[in-house]
Amino acid sequence: MAQIRDIKSGRFGAPTREPMPRRLAAIVAGDISGYSRLMQIDEEGTHSRVKRIERDLIEPSIVEHHGRLVKTTGDGFIAIFDSPVEAVRCSIVIQQNLVGRNAALPKHHWIEYRIGVNLGDVIIETDDVYGDGVNIATRLEGIAQPGEVYISGGIYEQIKHKLVCGYESLGDRHVKNITDPVRVYRVLSDPAALMQNRKRREGILVSLLILALLLIAGGALWSLLPNGKLPNLVSAPVSPPAEVQKAPAASPPAPPAQPAPTVAPTQQQAAPQPEPSAAPKPAPSPAPQQAAPLPPSASPAAPAGQPTTQAAASIREPEMVSLRGGSFAMGSNEDVSEKPVHQVTVKPFAMGKFPVSVREWNDCAAAKACGFTASGKDDAPVANVSWSDARQYVAWLAETTRKPYRLPSEAEWEYAARGGTQTRYWWGDQFQPGMVNCKNCSDIPASDQPVKVGSLKPNPFGLFDMGGGVDQWVEDCWHKNYQGAPVDGSAWVENECPSHVIRSGSWRKDSAYARTANRGSYDTNVRYPTHGFRIALSP
């Protein structure tokens, strides 16, 4: 801190107090559940495992999601993020990876973190962070269940439509040393937990609806009765005559002593009565049933496992461009992830002429096969789509049309994007404004949505928006470089990979991302506002 010097005496006075730096941040607090118990079981082994998790999982995950690890606390950590979305994504990734690490161990040896996330104004120092925002994050972590992520209401409002996960409201909670109650949500990143929570909510709603209907029906019945009392006819016991009760079961019924009343005949007695001739039955009209058979294309009964023509006719199949395949040099020397440059031979296939549009996606959403209804203009490319979302769409389209639609492989995507060229961009090595929809790349004003598909020029293969527009998912798992990559154009996949490759760049990124060789990755099950996709079709 600086000191004030008296000009006349030349002596230094009391030091001045500089303002502490403050900022709004998303704070993530993590803590190991049952750490003391684990240390008692195996002190050295537990310490070694915790340090390895911090080094191999927690620190890299925080960096990959653009956060900063502030400190570790032996059995926990504190991190800060500029983006609430990235803070929650990072928390989900950590928890999901810990599940895999614990799978091969007995339950009493599991290392499980509880994580709390809060949005608050905090004081930043070199090796620590202070403020109520931090305190609330640690309190949320303290009430979270092992393996789960709890978030505050402030975080929830920022991310509720941006991540492919569910949230369960736990209401307002009073937490230690915090005056006002905190709205708490549990993140449901596991699809099974999400479905279970949804079914539970639906069950509660159905029960409440049935109860409300019963109350309404009871009130209506009561209002119809005179003076709110049941008539004697209704209140009288309804039972067979005493004679019938006492008659032996094997004895035939005795004839009635009095003639049966004629004012209220039973249904069985009235049934055989002929209808009056004044109201003859209308003549049957079997014409629709006896009409000529419908042509096969209009038959309402499709073969088992195939969609009806009516359903298939309502689907907008994306326009495809057939590519005859060939060999090309894949990759570049501009980035380590694009090395080594290697020769790949791609078989014939068809590629979507445009990225999948909002209108095409919403056909899938209307069929209840895709997880959300997209907003925006119908002819704009759909965005905010996770890799899993894209796979849902192609699976639905393939099943409905009986055509082998799929996501393209990374090699197919780059082959199609190059359009037969080997330059930095499909039009040459120098960037030209107006060729792609990217940040500051054209006269098109910036907006919250990319321009409609087909607004700019196609590449030599007749494909639009192969660069800019929306980032585009491909089938491949993410690998840091091309060492060991397939050379036959097929997708490079493993059974379960946490992240997949994304290509193209977007309207929010600069021209460097629109290079044909540029590649990146993102979490498999997480949505992001610039992510979309296009489809491929096998011969």
Query: Residue 411's pLDDT is what?
Result: 97
Q: Is residue 298 part of a domain?
A: no
Last residue of a domain, one of 131, 166, 195: 195
If we measure between CA atoms, which residue out of 190, 65, 188, 84 comes closest to residue 137?
84
The count of structural domains within the chain is: 2
Q: Is residue 259 part of a domain?
A: no
Cα separation, 384 vs 89, whole angstroms: 14
Q: Is residue 415 part of a domain?
A: yes
Query: Residue 227's pLDDT is what?
Result: 58
Instruction: Tell me the Ramachandran region of residue 333: left when phi exceeds 0, alpha when psi lies from -120 to 50, beta otherwise.
Output: alpha
Instruction: Give residue 397's domain range.
Output: 320-537
Structure tokens at 371: 């997880």
Last residue of a domain, one of 166, 195, 224: 195
Query: Residue 12's pLDDT is what?
Result: 53
Last residue of a domain, one of 170, 195, 220: 195
DSSP assignments along 220-245, one per residue: HHHHHSGGG---HHHHS-----HHHH
The residues, any chain, with a CB within 8 Å of residue 409's CB and separated by 6 or more, are 474, 475, 476, 489, 490, 491, 492, 536
Neighbour tally for 180: CB within 10 Å:
10
Q: Exposed, middle or buried: residue 297 (CB in 10 Å: 0-12, 13-18, 19+)?
A: exposed
Q: Is residue 251 part of a domain?
A: no
Q: How many residues does the chain have?
A: 539
Question: pLDDT (tens digit, 9 = 90+) per residue, 309-354?
Answer: 444 456 778 999 999 999 999 999 999 999 999 999 999 999 999 9
Instruction: Using alpha carbons only, give the angle 14, 16, 22 rounded to the nearest 5 degrees.
Output: 150
DSSP assignments along 340-360, one per residue: S-EEEEEPPEEEESSPPBHHH
Cα separation, 100 vs 477, whole angstroms: 17
Q: Is residue 451 part of a domain?
A: yes
Strand 471-477 with 531-533, pairing: parallel
Q: What are the angstrom distances between the C-alpha of 116 and each of 41, 55, 160, 391?
A: 27, 20, 16, 31
Strand, coil or helix: what is 46? helix
Q: Is residue 280 part of a domain?
A: no
Contact 317, 404 (CB under 8 A): no
Contact 483, 476 (CB under 8 A): no
Helix axes 387-401, 358-366, angle to 10 degrees: 70
Cα separation, 381 vs 387, whole angstroms: 15
Query: Residue 272's pLDDT is what?
Result: 42
Cα separation, 204 vs 196, whole angstroms: 12
Sign of the CA dihedral running 93, 414, 515, 318: negative
Instruction: Tell me the Ramachandran region of residue 454: left when phi exceeds 0, alpha when psi lies from -120 to 50, beta otherwise.
Output: left
- Helix then strand then coil, % of the chain, to nearest 5: 30, 20, 45
In this structure, what CATH number is given to the domain that contains residue 92?
A: 3.30.70.1230
Q: Is residue 271 part of a domain?
A: no
Strand, coil or helix: what is 116? strand
Query: Residue 243's pLDDT is what?
Result: 43
In this structure, what CATH number is given to the domain that contains residue 393?
A: 3.90.1580.10
Per-run averaged pLDDT (10 residues), the chain, 539 residues: 49 57 92 93 90 91 92 92 94 86 83 96 88 93 94 93 84 85 87 53 75 81 62 47 44 46 40 43 42 37 40 74 95 94 96 96 94 89 92 95 96 96 91 83 67 89 92 95 96 88 90 91 85 94
Q: What DSSP element (H or E) covers 199?
A: helix 191-224
Q: Is residue 249 part of a domain?
A: no
Neighbour tally for 22: CB within 10 Å:
12
